[in-house]
Amino acid sequence: MGMELLLDFIAPRTCGACREDLPRLIQGPLCGACLSSVRMLSERLCARCGAPHAKREDLCRRCRGRLFAVDAIRAAFSYRAPVRELLHSFKYRGRLDAGRALADWMAGRFRRHRELAGARAIIPVPLHPRRLRERGFNQAELLAAAVSRASRLPCLPGLVRTRRTRAQWGLSRDSRLKNLEGAFEWQGPPPPDSVLLIDDVCTSGGTLEACGLALQAAGAREIRAFVLARD
Ligand SMILES: [Zn+2]
Ligand SMILES: [Zn+2]
């Protein structure tokens, strides 16, 4: 903290999204223009995966007629600028102030999602140990800690990433699922019946589903997920 204040004094802070210099009066990581362009997901959402979809049906095309380990996914924000840029500042440039702001915003929006009520514990999506060493922190853990404080639900360790997976982008949906198969495992005493997974971003939902399958195998029955942002 002391170091952060010192750095702030020497070098002007920049906006975590557009990287313009921040006026000293601004306390958060975003400039006024970026802050006012933060978007929630407000369109019609799929009841299962939480993705915006235009149809009248409850479920989107990808969720209809299929069974999933994860019963519901909800996101605090849309995965667009400036939330996307802010998350990148946090994950890849180590801007902890950006991470803290995102975690607080996410935790503040948790209660709006009634579909997520009733979980007994929070479980962050783990990073592979090697990725964790490279980055120095797991962004999902920091988000989970904030949601845990706001909801007073315990945050449980126990879900581990046993296999390093290829980067997901560029893979088809089926190869994504194959890529993630068996990548997670629950280790430790059985998880509670109803759990809430936490991650930073959800795109295809494949990572969450692979975590859900591991939790299901360990005995959890109601598995839902809350993510910072989704496509
Ligand atoms: Zn900005
Ligand atoms: Zn869906």
Q: Identify which ligand lies nearest to the alpha carbon of 64.
A: 2
pLDDT of residue 25: 84
Q: Is the pLDDT of residue 168 over 80?
A: no
Nearest to 99 by CA among 3, 186, 28, 185: 28
What's the gap in Å between 18 CA and the centre of ligand 1?
4
What's the gap in Å between 75 CA and the centre of ligand 1?
22
Instruction: Collect contacts of 92-98 with beta carbons under 8 A, ≥24 apart.
Output: 94/136, 95/16, 95/29, 96/4, 97/4, 97/16, 97/28, 97/29, 98/16, 98/29
Q: Is the pLDDT of residue 177 over 90?
A: no
Going from N- to C-terminal start, the domains of the chain cover: 60-230
Q: Identify which ligand lies nearest to the alpha carbon of 33.
A: 1
What's the gap in Å between 98 CA and the centre of ligand 2?
29
Does the structural domain 60-230 have CATH classification 3.40.50.720?
no
* Digit-coded pLDDT (tens) for 45-95: 999 999 988 777 789 989 999 999 999 999 999 999 999 999 999 999 989
Q: Identify which ligand lies nearest to the alpha carbon of 89.
A: 1
pLDDT of residue 87: 96
Q: Is the pLDDT of residue 171 over 80?
A: no
* Range 116-126 average pLDDT: 97
Q: Is the pLDDT of residue 121 over 70?
A: yes
What's the gap in Å between 85 CA and the centre of ligand 1?
10
Nearest to 105 by CA among 43, 51, 154, 38: 38
Q: Identify which ligand lies nearest to the alpha carbon of 57.
A: 2
What's the gap in Å between 20 CA and the centre of ligand 1?
6
Distance CA 94, CA 134 (A): 11
Q: Identify which ligand lies nearest to the alpha carbon of 52.
A: 2
β-bridge pairing 121-124 and 194-202:
parallel
Q: How many CA atoms lie within 13 A of 31 on its CB side?
A: 15
Distance CA 43, CA 40 (A): 9
Distance CA 14, CA 7 (A): 12
Do you find a cis peptide bond into 82, omega within 30 degrees of 0? yes
pLDDT level of residue 170 (50, 70, 90 thresholds): low
Q: Around ion ligand 1, which residues have CB less than 5 A away?
A: 15, 17-18, 31, 34
Q: Is the pLDDT of residue 3 over 70?
A: no
Identify the residue whose tokens are 């839902």: 224
Q: Which stretches does DSSP call E strand in 83-221?
A: 121-124, 159-161, 184-186, 194-202
